[in-house]
Amino acid sequence: MAEDSQRNFRSVYYEKVGFRGVEEKKSLEILLKDDPLDIEKLCTFSQRFPLPSMYRGFVWKVLLGILPPHHESHTQVMMYRKEQYTDVLHALKVIRFVSDSTPQVDIYLRMYQLESGKLPRSPSFPLEPEDEVFLAIAKAMEEMVEDNVDCYWLVRCFVNQLNNKFRDSLPQLPKVFEQYLNLEDSRLLNHMKMCSAVTKLPYDLWFQKCFAGCLPESSLQRVWDKVISGSCKILVFVAVEILLTFKIKVMALNNSEKITKFLENIPQDSSDAIVSKAIDLWHKHCGTPVHSM
């Protein structure tokens, strides 16, 4: 026991002075030198550790398939990506769906619609729910990524991942959320059931939009690290931790409308702590990937 305590003390100390982050960065740099890149190991790293900001965009592009595993192809592939972006944008301008004054996120949406065969007959047509999801994710991604070409491809491929890889999983997340909240705090869950709030929680904001528009980008990108590397279940634990963090506030509210309104606009200064605790909770219940790095 004394040895375990000493080891835990050293771990906490090293993390506080930055040693742990240095070792993680070195491990990632070694992985990024592989040619071809080992996608499975990169996924494992992203699920175990936070990605350093200087490498996040590159790793996301690799994990989402925007860049291939072979290094020598990266420059040429990104040139093709840029040409495709330019061609699609030009086509939209020719048919007058966008102009120089169109907001960038709206341009991304029209490009995505055109490429997926879902462009409406007129720009004035009302947006579909799936379009609202796309715009929310695009607005958040725009705050994280400066380059328009990179931003579009990241949004495009991230949304495709949600629509394809997680198509069957996302609708199940409200039920999974309820199960884990019951394990963590059954009294809190019972209170929300008594208020008829469980079915009216902002699940679209939490799960369909992956907390885009709910968490600030500095916290959100740590959640998206896990989603992009293959686990949409992290979204459940962020939602659970939001409830646990604001338990006193939620318990003081006595109707579903007030609870939902509060949870849609949680205090932003708590988001970093919420995400850190959510990741710990995720590891506690789901373990960590077993693939060797």
- The Cα 45–Cα 41 span in angstroms is 6
**For residue 287, what pLDDT band results from cuts at 50, 70 and 90?**
confident
| Percent above pLDDT 90 for the chain | 87
* Percent of all residues in the chain with a pLDDT value above 70, rounded to a whole number: 91
pLDDT in tens, 160-188: 999 999 999 999 999 999 999 999 999 99
Domains, in order of start, for the chain: 17-165 (1.10.8.680), 170-286 (1.10.472.80)
52, exposed or middle or buried, with CB in 10 Å at 0-12, 13-18, 19+? middle
Structure-block tokens of residue 263: 């949870």
Q: What is the C-alpha to C-alpha distance for residues 112 and 90, in angstroms, rounded to an integer?
A: 14
Q: What pLDDT is attached to residue 20?
A: 54
Tens of pLDDT, residue by residue over 98-129, are 999 999 999 999 999 999 999 999 999 999 99
Residue with the two structure tokens 């469980």: 198
The mean of the pLDDT values for the chain is 91
pLDDT number for residue 22: 74
As a whole number, mean pLDDT of residues 10-20 equals: 42
pLDDT level of residue 218 (50, 70, 90 thresholds): very high
Q: Above 90 in pLDDT, residue 227?
A: yes
Residue 10 or 191, more confident: 191
Degrees (nearest 5) of the Cα angle 180, 234, 279? 90
**Residues 243 and 188 sit within 8 Å (Cβ to Cβ):** yes
> In the prediction, which pLDDT does 272 show?
95
Task: Give per-residue pLDDT as tens, 121-165.
Answer: 999 999 999 999 999 999 999 999 999 999 999 999 999 999 999
Residue 66 confidence (pLDDT) above 80: yes
Q: Mention every residue, 6+ apart, whose C-beta is less than 8 A from residue 66.
A: 60, 77, 81, 153, 154, 157
Which pTM value belongs to this model? 0.90
Count Cβ atoms within 10 A of the Cβ of residue 68 and give its class: 0-12 exposed, 13-18 middle, 19 or more buried: middle
